[in-house]
Structure formats: structure tokens, C-alpha cells
Amino acid sequence: MTFEAVYENGVFRPLESLVLPNMQHVLVTVSGTLATADGIADYFEPEEWEAAKLDDISLQEVRSALSSIPGSLADTVIASREDR
């Protein structure tokens, strides 16, 4: 399960309702969003990010672009885990 949350007053607060039993123990992995991860947000102005939300890129265009990337995401993840 992957979901977005906000860290607030020492507690992670999910931004959507989760179907979990009360007091369920979970393992949490924290990664930043585009706005905070590795300075990616600094490449564009806030207005450019807002304008990008309105881009009408089709799923077919995305698939075409992704298909030109060599290798697979699975291979990259496996290699990353082996490096740990």
C-alpha cells in the first residue's frame, strides 16, 4: 500500500482514509515528494509546476517515451537493493 501523508506535530497523518485495524503495526518508508526531493522543485518556478498540471499528454505518449528507456525498472530496483 502506498499513500501520501503529512508529518504534523510528530505524527504522520494520511491524506486519505486507510483500511487498517486500530493499533496495526506497519513498516513506514519515508521519501520526499517532488517539492522537497533532491532539489527537483528548484528546476522550475511554482507557476511552471502549476501550468504543467494542465498539460494534455496522452497515456500513449507516456508509454512511447517510457518504452525508449533501456532496461527495466525492476532491474534498477534489484540492482539498488544489491548495492545496500
Q: Which residues span the domain enclosing 55?
A: 5-83
Q: How many domains does the chain have?
A: 1
Higher-confidence residue: 64 or 34?
Answer: 64
- Give the C-alpha separation, 53 to 34, whole Å: 13
Q: What band does 81 get if pLDDT is binned at 50, 70 and 90?
A: confident
Q: What is the pLDDT of residues 3-62, one digit of tens each?
A: 888 888 888 889 888 888 999 998 888 877 655 555 666 677 888 888 888 888 888 998
- Give the C-alpha separation, 28 to 23, whole Å: 14
Q: pTM of the prediction?
A: 0.35
| 3-state DSSP percent of the chain in helix, strand and coil, to 5 | 35, 10, 55
